[in-house]
Amino acid sequence: MSRLQGTFDGIRQRGTPGLVTYITAGDPSLAQSAEILKALDRAGADVLEVGVPFSDPLADGPVIQRATERALEAGTTLVRVLDMVRAVRADVRAPIVIFSYANPILRLGEEAFADRAREAGVDGVLALDLPMEEAGGFRRTLADRGIDTILLVSPTTSDERLRTAATLGSGFLYAISRLGVTGARDAVAPGAREMVERIRAVTDMPIALGFGISRPEHVRDVGQWADAAVVGSALVATIADAGDSPELPARVEEYVRWLKS
């Protein structure tokens, strides 16, 4: 059983919503990203998404775009992100998912990336802009190394493509609740429940629902339909507000405990 499968089995057994947290690695530094991952784990985050900064983050809103710019200016690369994950892996209980655009992975080479990810203790990979139709070979490369392939689906994903995602993907499906770019919102998207119900009709794979989650009531609402809520921009904004202050890990831990409350 993979670490992700065990985690989502536990979420379903306990009957309370899971929480998937996203950070941009290297913001404000890779050393501090390692401490942030430990703080997230202490606070009870169920899955840790580690974002690889990329020069053209087209799916991301201004908060994550600015974090990406800071991380790139600090010299963050895919290889350095994997080295950071390897260094912190023994201190973190939660599964770790690498969240990347396809280009950094292709530039390193799929085989080389998969080998390094396995050595680092990565549990899953989400290649954001890798077309589903081209994901079969990448999935096999990861599966050969015991790594789950996380696929992303949206409100415009057809039922046929949902079935394809359920067949190709493993670990969990990442469903985005609205179209557009990432960013915190005041309320969960009105079509979120319908989105999850469409996925449930074709697969029993765990579902993590994201885009716009920023408050405990959002996590509660999402937990009525999906297995877990994903918080990204609001957490990245919390990190940006704290900057490189010594209080950064404590601020992160406090925020995640509040979300889970």
- 87: three-class secondary structure by DSSP: helix
What residue type is 19 in one-letter code?
Answer: L
Burial class from Cβ neighbours inside 10 Å (0-12, 13-18, 19+) for residue 137 reads exposed
pLDDT at 180 (0 to 100): 43
Active site positions, annotated: 49, 60
Number of domains in the chain: 1
What CATH number does residue 104 fall under?
A: 3.20.20.70
pLDDT at 244 (0 to 100): 87
Distance (Å, rounded) from C-alpha 104 to C-alpha 61?
Answer: 20
Residue by residue, pLDDT tens for the chain (261 residues) are: 899 999 999 999 998 999 999 999 999 999 999 999 999 999 999 999 999 999 988 878 889 999 999 999 999 999 999 999 999 999 999 999 999 999 999 999 999 999 999 999 999 999 999 988 889 999 999 999 999 999 999 888 999 999 999 999 999 999 986 544 444 445 455 678 888 999 999 999 999 998 778 899 999 999 999 999 999 999 999 999 998 899 999 999 999 999 998
What residue type is 139 in one-letter code?
Answer: R
Q: Residues in the chain, how many? A: 261
Distance (Å, rounded) from C-alpha 232 to C-alpha 252?
Answer: 12
What's the predicted TM-score (pTM) here? 0.94
pLDDT at 61 (0 to 100): 83
pLDDT at 156 (0 to 100): 87
Could you tell me which of 197, 203, 124 has the C-alpha nearest to residue 162?
Answer: 203
Q: Which domain holds residue 234?
A: 3-260
> 57 — phi, psi (to 5°)?
-80, 75
pLDDT at 234 (0 to 100): 94
pLDDT at 191 (0 to 100): 73
Inter-CA distances, 184 with 167, 172, 230, 234, 259, Å: 31, 22, 11, 6, 13
Burial class from Cβ neighbours inside 10 Å (0-12, 13-18, 19+) for residue 74 reads middle
What is the DSSP secondary structure assignment for residue 161, as one 8-state letter? H
